[in-house]
């Protein structure tokens, strides 16, 4: 019987997407975005380094899809065209190493921080407050 892990090193085709191997980096928030949710050069360098080390696909960290859903100050955003250049640069830096990327879409729902969302009331399936989510009044 062969090594059961051998296939992890083999390419895989997922629809039109081909990965050079089956290692996928899980999403991990870096807090390297800026306070508007834009990609920073530090973040590009971080992901490029992960890609350079041979993983087949990187999952870019928890990224907010609405200006009512941000959870943390340095969380990446993808809810306006202004985010595109930074995200494209990030994807390009990853692809340069024959690595592919996906991106984790996220909305914090009742855990959204109003202080980071222009004071917008959090959008959630019910009005029940999130346990432990306490933000200053002002």
Ligand X SMILES: Cc1cc2nc3c(=O)[nH]c(=O)nc-3n(C[C@H](O)[C@H](O)[C@H](O)COP(=O)(O)O)c2cc1C
- Pick the stretch among 22-30, 33-41, 42-50, 124-132 that binds ligand X (CB under 6 A): 22-30
- Residue 105 C-beta: closest distance to ligand X, Å: 11
Contact 90, 50 (CB under 8 A): no
Cα torsion angle, 34, 40, 44, 49, sign: negative
Q: Which of 19, 44, 62, 103 binds ligand X (CB under 6 A)?
A: 62
Q: How far is CA 6 from the centre of its chain?
A: 29
Return the number of the residue (1 or 26) whose C-beta is nearest ligand X: 26
Contact region with ligand X (CB under 6 A), list: 21-29, 64-72, 89-97, 115-123: 21-29
- What is the distance between the alpha carbons of residues 60 and 104, in angstroms, rounded to a whole number? 6
* In contact, 11 and 21? CB cutoff 8 Å: yes
Site for ligand X contains 101 (CB under 6 A):
no
Which C-beta is closer to ligand X: that of 27 or that of 114? 27
Among 101, 5, 103, smallest CA distance to 50 is for 101
Interaction site with ligand X (CB under 6 A):
26-29, 61-62, 104
């Amino acid at each position: 019987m062969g090594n059961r892990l051998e296939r992890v090193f083999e390419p895989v085709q997922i629809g039109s997407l081909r990965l050079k191997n089956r290692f996928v980096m899980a999403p991990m928030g870096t807090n390297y975005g800026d306070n508007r949710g834009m990609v920073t050069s530090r973040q590009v360098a971080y992901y490029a380094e992960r890609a350079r080390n041979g993983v087949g696909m990187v999952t870019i960290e928890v990224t907010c899809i609405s200006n009512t859903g941000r959870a943390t100050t340095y969380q990446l955003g993808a809810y306006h065209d202004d985010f595109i250049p930074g995200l494209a640069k990030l994807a390009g830096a990853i692809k340069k190493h024959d690595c592919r990327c996906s991106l984790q879409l996220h909305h914090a729902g009742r855990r959204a921080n109003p202080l980071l969302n222009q004071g917008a009331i959090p959008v959630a399936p019910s009005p029940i407050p999130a346990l432990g989510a306490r933000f200053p009044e002002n």
